[in-house]
C-alpha cells in the first residue's frame, strides 16, 4: 500500500515536474504552430482570392472575346452586305452597258441592212436605167448629150 502510494506520489511529482518544465516550451511551440497555421491559412485565402480574381478576369476576357467576335461577325456581315450591294450595282451597270452596246449594234445592223437594201435597190434601178439607155439612146441623142456636156466643161 505504501509502495502504491509512493508510486502515485512519485507519478504526480513527475507530472508536476514535467508540467513545470514543459509548460512554457510547449506553449511557445503551440503558439508558433498556431501562428504558422494562421499564416498559411491567410496565404491560402489570399491565393484563393487571387485565383478567384484570375478566374473572374478570365471569364471577363472570354466574355469580351465573345463580344469582339460577335462585333467582328456583325462588321463582316455588314461589309459583306455592302460588297454584295456594290457587286450588284456593278453588275447592273455592266448589264446596262451591255444592253446599250447591244442596242447600238442592233441599230448599226439595221442601218447597214437599210443601206444594203438601198444599195441593192439603187443598183438595180440604175442597171435597169443603163440597160434602157443602151437600148434606146439614139446616136443623135448621144451627140446632143456630148455637145451639151462640152458646153458645161
Residues at the site binding another protein, with contacts judged by CB under 8 A: 115, 118-119, 122-123, 126, 129-130, 133-134, 137, 139, 141-143, 145-147, 149-150, 152-153
29/145 with CB nearer another protein: 145
Phi, psi of 137, rounded to the nearest 5 degrees: -70, 120
Q: Which three cell numbers stand for residue 58?
A: 478570365
Minimum CB–partner distance for residue 93 and another protein (Å): 38
| Residues 64/69/74/80 CA torsion (nearest 10 deg) | 160
Minimum CB–partner distance for residue 118 and another protein (Å): 6
Burial of 23: CB neighbours in 10 Å, binned 0-12, 13-18, 19+: exposed
54/133 with CB nearer another protein: 133
Question: Hey, CA dihedral for 44, 50, 54, 56, is it positive or negative?
Answer: positive
Alpha-carbon span 97 to 103, nearest angstrom? 10
Minimum CB–partner distance for residue 122 and another protein (Å): 5
Minimum CB–partner distance for residue 110 and another protein (Å): 16
Q: Which three cell numbers stand for residue 24?
A: 512554457
Amino acid at each position: 500500500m505504501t509502495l502504491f502510494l509512493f508510486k502515485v506520489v512519485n507519478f504526480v511529482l513527475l507530472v508536476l515536474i514535467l508540467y513545470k518544465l514543459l509548460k512554457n516550451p510547449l506553449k511557445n511551440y503551440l503558439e508558433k504552430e498556431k501562428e504558422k497555421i494562421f499564416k498559411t491559412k491567410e496565404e491560402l485565402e489570399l491565393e484563393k482570392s487571387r485565383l478567384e480574381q484570375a478566374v473572374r478576369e478570365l471569364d471577363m476576357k472570354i466574355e469580351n472575346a465573345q463580344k469582339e467576335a460577335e462585333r467582328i461577325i456583325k462588321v463582316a456581315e455588314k461589309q459583306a452586305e455592302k460588297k454584295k450591294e456594290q457587286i450588284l450595282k456593278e453588275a447592273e451597270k455592266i448589264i446596262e452597258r451591255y444592253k446599250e452596246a447591244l442596242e447600238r449594234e442592233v441599230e448599226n445592223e439595221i442601218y447597214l441592212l437599210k443601206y444594203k437594201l438601198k444599195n441593192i435597190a439603187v443598183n438595180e434601178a440604175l442597171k435597169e436605167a443603163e440597160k434602157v439607155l443602151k437600148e434606146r439612146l439614139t446616136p443623135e441623142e448621144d451627140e446632143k448629150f456630148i455637145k451639151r456636156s462640152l458646153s458645161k466643161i
